[in-house]
Amino acid sequence: MKSNISFVNAYIAFFIIHTSQIGMGILGAPRIVFLEAKQDAWISVLLSGLFISVIIWMIISILAKYENCNLYEIHENLFGRFIGSIINTFIVIYFIAALYSIIISYVELSLTWGYEGVDEWVGVLALLLVTIYAVSGGFRVIAGVCFLSLLMTIWLVFVFYQPLESINFTRILPVMSATPAQIMKGVFKTSFTMLGFETLFFIFPFIKEKKKLLFFSQLAIWFTTLIVLITTVISILFFSPKELEIHIWPVVSMISTVHFPFLERFEFIAVPLWILVIFPNLCLYLFISSKGLKQIFHLKQKHGIWLISIIIFITSFFVTKRVDNNLFFDQVGHVGFYLWFIYPILLYFISIIKSKIFSHS
């Protein structure tokens, strides 16, 4: 089975990791970090970048121990088939939940900005069908989606030059006024946005030159950190503290001040364009969760993607209140934090201990 795997070059890992990190989170990130760390939010962002950088290093050293294995296979290897499957099931549920929350939060965003009349399920269905179409093309297509998605949306960064005209530098002062505890809380909140680097666990077998992977994944997470940093700093400088606290998607609110001679309200372009930004996330998460189903239940991936999509589609009918959704996103974020910020450290030491025991015996 491993022989006809489709390999991609190492630099593609940069695009995959970066695009899976950037998604719905960044639109609201400046606010939620600001709520914790106030004008020192940018320190939190930098710290969380540093944190992820260390974790990436750990992840790669775990993966390097098991050649051509994804996390599911490593779990089975470390803990045996039964316990491994339980952990894997948990991870699959996490990814399905993450996929669900991305789709729902996007549909919510698009309903807020311009499509009040459209039914929610239309959006969910459309996004799911496109994702299924992409994932059924296999990993090569998903990698291509990540690559092209970044290429087609990176210019959005330059749109920020217009809000730059009305910023107030004094808003970031005084520096270091937040307590370390507040900053750490900020790091915790930033992590929700920065999640997505865990895809590295699952794309590893597909990468051709594994030695270059560390470089490109570090590059990816620092690039993400840079972009989150830019948006956070500009948001802090742009909004007054009270304004920033009430804008749920400060980035979109900021984009809505952008004017072109031929476009009055740019956010109506930016919000649909965000589909291209979340599209890699959707593809990767669906791919990874269906891969998990295959590992645990030996369900073919092409059936798995349909099963997962049907589950998400049906669930989307039940949870419709904004409050419930928010609660759900927070929970997913929390689980994600423990799963991908804390657990890899644990896994790293377990794998070291286990390999030491084996080398002794």
Partner 1 sequence: MTNTPNKNNCPNYEKIKYILNQSPDLNCRTLEVGKDCIEVVFIKNLIKAETVNEYVIKFIQQLPEKDITYSYLMKNIPIDEVKIDFKEQEIISSLLNGFVYIYLLKESKALLVNCANPIERSIEKAETESLVYGPKISFTESLSSNIQIIRQNLNNSNLCTDELEIGERVKKKLRIIYIKDLTDEDILETLKQKLENITTDDIIDSSVLSQCLEDNHYSFFPQFIMTELPDRFLYSILNGRVGILLDRSPVAIIGPANFFSFFESTEDIYLRWSLSTFIRFIRFFAMAGSLLFTAFYVAILTYHFELIPSKLLIVIGQSRSQVPFPPLLEAILMELLIELLREAGARLPSKVGQTMGIVGGIVIGQATVEAGLTSNILIIIVAFSALGAFSAPIYEMGTAIRIARFPFIILAGVWGFNGIMIGVCVLVVHLLKLTSLNRPYLAPLYPFRKKDLKYFLIRLPHHFYRKRPVVNRPLNVFRIGWKFKKTGNDLDEF
Q: Under the rule (CB under 8 A), what is the footprint of partner 1? A: 8-9, 110, 114-115, 118, 122-123, 126-127, 130, 133-134, 137, 140-141, 144-145, 147-148, 152, 261-265, 268-269, 271-273, 275-276, 279
Residue closer to partner 1 by CB (options 111, 335) is 111
Residue closer to partner 1 by CB (options 50, 144) is 144
In the complex, least distance from residue 146 CB atom to partner 1, rounded to whole angstroms: 10
184 in Cβ contact with 54 (< 8 Å): no
In the complex, least distance from residue 213 CB atom to partner 1, rounded to whole angstroms: 17
Residue closer to partner 1 by CB (options 83, 126) is 126
Region class of 24: left (phi > 0), else alpha (psi between -120 and 50), else beta: alpha
CA 50, CA 289: separation in Å to the nearest integer? 28
In the complex, least distance from residue 127 CB atom to partner 1, rounded to whole angstroms: 7
Spatial CA neighbour of 193 closest among 251, 139, 271: 251
Residue closer to partner 1 by CB (options 180, 261) is 261
Residue closer to partner 1 by CB (options 151, 319) is 151
In the complex, least distance from residue 208 CB atom to partner 1, rounded to whole angstroms: 11
Extract the tokens encoding 268: 């109506």
Residue 8, beta-bridge partner list: 207
SS3 260: strand
In the complex, least distance from residue 290 CB atom to partner 1, rounded to whole angstroms: 16
In the complex, least distance from residue 50 CB atom to partner 1, rounded to whole angstroms: 30
Residue closer to partner 1 by CB (options 140, 356) is 140
Which residue type, as a one-letter code, is found at position 343? Y
Q: 174 preceded by cis ω (within 30°)?
A: yes
Residue closer to partner 1 by CB (options 215, 338) is 215
Extract the tokens encoding 19: 């695009």
Residue closer to partner 1 by CB (options 21, 110) is 110
Question: What b/e sequence results for 183-205 when a residue is b if at least 16 CB atoms lie within 10 Å of its CB, and e otherwise?
Answer: bbbbbbbbbbbbbbbbbbbbbbb
Using the structure block, give the residue that is written with the tokens 């991609």: 8
In the complex, least distance from residue 163 CB atom to partner 1, rounded to whole angstroms: 18
In the complex, least distance from residue 210 CB atom to partner 1, rounded to whole angstroms: 18
Query: Which string of DSSP letters, residue by residue, matches 157-219?
Result: GGGGHHHHTT--GGGGPSTT-S-HHHHHHHHHHHHHHHTTGGGHHHHGGGBS-GGGHHHHHHH
Spatial CA neighbour of 22 closest among 141, 162, 153: 153
Extract the tokens encoding 346: 């644990």
